[in-house]
Amino acid sequence: MTESKNPVATQSVGADRPRADNSRPSVPLAMGQLQGLDWSLVAALRSAASERLMAALDAESHLDRASQQDLGRRIISELLEDEVVDQARIGRGMIDRQHQSRLAQAVFDALFRLGRLQPLVDDPSVENVTIRGCDDVWIEYADGRLERGPAVADSDQDLIDFLVFLASRSEVNARQFSESNPRLHLRLDGGSRLAATAWVTPRPSVVVRRHRMQDVTLADLVAKRSLSGLAATFLAAAVRARKSIVVAGPQGAGKTTMVRALCAEIPPSEAIGTFETEYELHLHEMRDRHPIVHAWEARPGGEMQPNGRRAGEFTLDDALYDSYRFSLSRQIVGEVRGAEVLAMIEAMQSGTGSLSTTHAESAERAVSKLVTCAMKAGAHVTEQYATRAIAEALNIVVHVDSRVEAMDSGSVKRRWTSQIVLLGPGEREKGYSLTTVFACPRGTTAIRAVSGMPEEYRELAGYGFDLTGYLAESQRAVS
């Protein structure tokens, strides 16, 4: 856009002016279509469109997101018409219709979606995108391949500026991203998740993780060889019997996918509450499977207040406290990384059967991790108290793992369930006992029954657990 142009002025379009292509920008850009675009022009158009859109929304604040996007498309089209006129006036020639369409979609993506990252997220074969500076981009595909990707900004500062814009534009749960708050965690349309840091790293760092399996069942995991049919009957029965379960594993191993599959075993008549720092489970969007879901999302808040809380802050503890007036059948706390483990423990102590995830390299270390997380809440939470509370509230730890395997036709990322362990209070020095009931033989990814089932868990046969099959398989394992 030329400097003489007022980007926020709305101008009429005369019939004798060169016309822009007014077609609705709705076809996603492929990665190859990013080449050749003037990204400084895209940024200028996005800025101008944002100003016009905000001015319009001041007068029509009732517009929903779809209506805002329709209005945004019209504004982008008007701005492109002005740009076509400018280009013709200074003798640069006409912008052809195909290029106009690409520009329109790029501006739309920058205004409402993920900008230059959007084509990567739209690619169904992409699983994760890792960015270490504007031009150091790596794409991890579902089959385990890791390839370099295109630059996502013209400079690191442009990348930071876009992240600031991305964080602030949410009409529901805006986040602050600044030198005083240098980390960002966002949920994205379609179930993806973005994490970013800047100012405390040599270059801005971003990771976008895509959840490729949302409406998933234990049967789906069995079909993908991530779980045995026998283990699936045990886990399904445990959910129906309202056992509390934590799914542990490394990053990208499929913890959230496993929790979604476990949730699929909850009867549709039950009212579910989900409590997450950022929405990941998306049970509230699966209305055919879960018709009654109340979903809470924490909000970090703004400036610190005299009472020690941030303005507008809404914690998982707040959400859990409020939830007791919602007649819930289940309370499900999402990922546990810190003091939110106390909310998880409280939900599990209700005895209605809760589910959570955490990062750990084994089931036993998951318990230690949860104890450490609980102690982060302050000196009032001792190791002894945290251990006892977790041992009494948590029933089962499911550990999942993953690796990339080479195949004749390429590579594939394998995910599997490596352990299912029962947790309970214990007399030992640790303060808890662990009983492994399913595990993978060394060097394999096929989970098997490995020992006798404790008597209290044999009652799960009444909820659909194949106890006869388990006893037979565990006997073969020791013979």
* 251 phi, psi to nearest 5 deg: -60, 140
- Range from 227-231, 273-277, 371-375, 376-380 that averages highest in pLDDT: 227-231
Query: 220-224 long-range contacts, Cβ below 8 Å, gap at least 24?
Result: 220/261, 221/257, 221/258, 221/261, 221/417, 224/415
Which class would CATH give 218-478?
alpha beta
Q: Is the pLDDT of residue 30 over 70?
A: no
pLDDT for the residue numbered 124: 85
Contact between 167 and 114 (Cβ < 8 Å): no
3-class DSSP assignment, residue 72: helix
Kindly report, residue by residue over 128-176, the tens digit of the pLDDT.
999 999 999 999 988 888 899 999 999 999 999 999 988 887 655 678 8
Contact between 7 and 41 (Cβ < 8 Å): no
Residue with tokens 């939900």: 347
How far CA 166 is from CA of 135, 169, 188, 323, 327, in Å, comes to: 19, 6, 10, 30, 36
**Which tokens sit at 255?**
């913890």
- Residue 210's nearest CA partner among 106, 287, 123 is 123
Domain boundaries, given as residue ranges, for the chain:
31-112, 119-209, 218-478
Report the alpha-carbon distance of residue 109 to residue 252 in Å, rounded. 26
Residue with tokens 């997101």: 65
The CATH number given to 119-209 is: 3.30.450.90
* Res. 424 pLDDT band, cuts 50 70 90: confident
Q: Residue range 333-358: average pLDDT?
A: 88
Report the alpha-carbon distance of residue 271 to residue 284 in Å, rounded. 11
Q: Is the pLDDT of residue 93 over 70?
A: no
pLDDT for the residue numbered 26: 52
Report the alpha-carbon distance of residue 141 to residue 157 in Å, rounded. 27
pLDDT for the residue numbered 171: 53
In this structure, of 85-89, 269-273, 418-422, the range with the lowest mean pLDDT score is: 85-89
Residues 6+ apart with CB under 8 A from 97: 21
Report the alpha-carbon distance of residue 6 to residue 78 in Å, rounded. 13
Q: Are strands 183-187 and 272-276 parallel, antiparallel or unpaired?
A: unpaired
Kindly report, residue by residue over 204-238, the tens digit of the pLDDT.
999 998 877 778 999 999 999 999 999 999 999 99
The CB density around residue 403, as the number of other CB atoms within 10 Å, is: 13
In this structure, of 146-150, 173-177, 332-336, 361-365, the range with the lowest mean pLDDT score is: 173-177
CA angle (331 as vertex; 325, 337 as ends), nearest 5: 125
